[in-house]
Amino acid sequence: KFAEENSDRGLHVLVNNAGCMVNKRELTEDNLEKNFATNTLGTYILTESLIPLLQRSGTAAARTRVVTVSSGGMLTNKLDPVDLQFESLTPYDGTMAYAQNKRQQVVMTEVWAKKYSDVQFTSMHPGWADTPAVRTAMPGFYEKMKDKLRTVEQGADTVVWLAATQNTLATDPRNSGEFFQDRQNC
């Protein structure tokens, strides 16, 4: 609906940063696992629906961009293409489901970069930042690490840099599909 309502506008940057970490397996009214529905399927549907608008808004000199905020937690997970909704994950572990969702986002970013060469796609890890989501979804982690967490501004730095910079590391089409942390591709 959002894409349809805004089809006559320009769109130069899309930042995918909505997400959740539900710590027990719950289903949506459409019978989808909630973490998957929000973190993976929501990102996919929004991005795919906005591709035509992004393509119309960009030029060869000023490519449009999609930045997907992932998580370093995904580094603990290889992609499991079989159990996308964690039906076999027993006992269910919301942190591991979230990490798998974040791996799925990174893989989607790589695929989009190959499929849509006229849009710059990147994914990134903001570092562990002191956010309400970290405090509520991972209270044990928060208590142990609260003095070492980044500020929200520090966590947002690479997102903003990827979305707005003219630095060639972030804008070079050869780097489309790359994963970044602290302004560096990993």
Catalytic residue list: 98
- Which residue in 20, 19, 18, 26 sits closest to 86, CA to CA? 26
Residue written as tokens 């993976």? 40
Beta strand segments in 87-177, E: 119-125
CB 99 within 8 A of CB 73: yes
Distances, alpha carbon 129 to alpha carbons 134, 146, 148, 180, in Å: 8, 9, 9, 16
Pair 67, 162: CB distance under 8 Å: yes
